[in-house]
Structure 1
Amino acid sequence: MAPDDATVLIVDDEREVADVYALRLRDSYETETAYGGEDALAKIDDTVDVVLLDRRMPDISGDDVLEEIRDRGHSCRVIMITAVDPDFEILDMKFDDYLCKPVEKADLEQAIEQQLAARRYDERLSEYMNVTSKLALLEGEKTPERLADSDVESLRERAAELREELDDALESFDDIDTAFREIERTPG
């Protein structure tokens, strides 16, 4: 998925804040805004790739929105963007990243890119596991002759393609890890 194809939902009860983030990101991503927790829950669906979620909102807190997103089984990545200083309660929260306001545009874009890369990696890893488990099952149960008469070779080719993609992703992990550590997560 190219960044331009990614949809980012920006959730903040302060309209100006949500609109500024949308303005900063609109050249790189498809952006949508939600001005509170209820609005976010009404807009969240499987077309949303990344959610930028404020924690402190009057109607439904960001913590509750996050929990509902996970309960609904949405596969989007969630970045908490908030003025609430993190405490030990975050240990049980299922967000993917946590940034403290104010957030610079470069840090915001870098955090989104990392979440999109993680999502692509997760999808490919799941597909690789699916393909290789099918291959192992078929190769363990069928004779070489039966395998030769089947479409199993295309499965082998796909497994090799996915393995190469995953190897490439792992090689770039050091760069991603370095970039991840460079994001300013606390107000500077």
Structure 2
Amino acid sequence: MADTDTNQDPRVLVVDDEKEVADAYALRLRGECTVDTAYGGQEAFSVIENRPVDILLLDRHMPDVSGDEVLTRLAERGFEGRVVMVTAIDPEFDVLELPFDDYLCKPIDREDVRSVVDQQRQILAYETLGKYFGAKSTQTVLTAQTSPEQRENHEQFEAVRERATRLERRAQRLLDDDTLLAKFESVDRDGR
């Protein structure tokens, strides 16, 4: 689940065992984001393992691996994206145990698909920005207060540096306006 490619659009994965439905949602999102489709739960895992996913549109009722099982496994793996259930199953109290971020009952029109993806993109952008600010401020203060020799082989420092870089790339991809990143960089954190 690494963030390694240079595409600058939010990344959405549409998962539905009905190919026509998944393709229709993907078509509705064309031009708004980078969209992949998976036609079952197992295929969804393959996509997520090979490419970063910001927003997952997930059907609940699928024959190979249910959407509920996909959610459970992703939570166990530490999936850092947002999950929207898009399903014909009317919610009951069992949804209280599911780690999703939004729930849409089919059929869904074009504007609702686009709107929910944009809402989840904005939420994820600010969540990511908060994590980035924390990691980057730690990196900045340690860089100012320690010598290059001290930092050179320090595994935890390197991990913070890599995390800050990864989070910055993701925040830039998700934000409509990255002036918040510039404002953060303008603050003098080391008092020098």
Query: Is residue 43 of structure 1 aligned with residue 65 of structure 2?
Result: no
Instruction: Give the 3-state SS of the residue equivalent to 1:107 in structure 2.
Output: helix
- The 5 Å alignment of 1:166-185 reads none
1:108 equivalent in structure 2 = 113
Instruction: Give the 3-state SS of the residue equivalent to 1:65 in structure 2.
Output: helix
CA deviation vs aligned residue, 1:102-157 (integer Å, no higher than 9, x gap): 1111111111111111111011112333455678999xx9xxxxxxxxxxxxxxxx
2:21 equivalent in structure 1 = 17
Output the amino acid matched with 1:16.
Answer: E
1:185 equivalent in structure 2 = none
1:117 equivalent in structure 2 = 122
1:12 positional shift: 0.4
Unaligned runs of 5+ in 1: 142-157, 165-188
Q: Which runs of 4+ in 1 moved over 6 A?
A: 133-138
The number of equivalent residue pairs is 146
1:27 equivalent in structure 2 = 31
Distance 1:57 1:136, change over 3 A: same
Q: Distance in 2 between matches of 1:162 and 1:89?
A: 42
Q: TM-score, normalised by structure 2?
A: 0.66
What percent of counterpart residues are identical?
Answer: 44
Output the amino acid matched with 1:22.
Answer: A
Q: TM-score, normalised by structure 1?
A: 0.67
Instruction: Give the 3-state SS of the residue equivalent to 1:119 in structure 2.
Output: helix
CA deviation vs aligned residue, 1:11-42 (integer Å, no higher than 9, x gap): 00011101111111122111111011111111
Which deviates more, 76-85 or 128-137? Answer: 128-137
2:89 pairs with one of 75, 84, 91: 84
Instruction: Give the 3-state SS of the residue equivalent to 1:44 in structure 2.
Output: helix
